[in-house]
Amino acid sequence: MAADQDPVYAPDQLKPGDRKRARKAAIIAAVVMLMFFWGNHEGNTENIYLILFALAIVGALVIDAVLRRNGLKPNDQ
């Protein structure tokens, strides 16, 4: 009965992704968000959200690097 309920994974799902490429893409996304800081909008509400989201992306990268360095997160994921 338990064998019927085991999840089925494709080989690509278990393959680790390219971490360097993901880090570069996250940094580029944060920079692009900050480029819209000088966009065609009035008020500072948009600016606050752009800065907060860019800081959240960079913060996630820093936390990930610290966890991996301290051995709290495996390097294969």
Q: What is the pTM of this model?
A: 0.73
The one-digit pLDDT tens for each residue of the chain (77 residues) are 556 677 787 777 777 778 899 999 999 999 999 998 887 778 788 889 999 999 999 999 999 999 988 888 776 65
Give the span between the Cα atoms of 22 and 43, in whole angstroms: 33
Tell me the domain boundaries of the chain: 14-69
Give the span between the Cα atoms of 30 and 58, in whole angstroms: 7
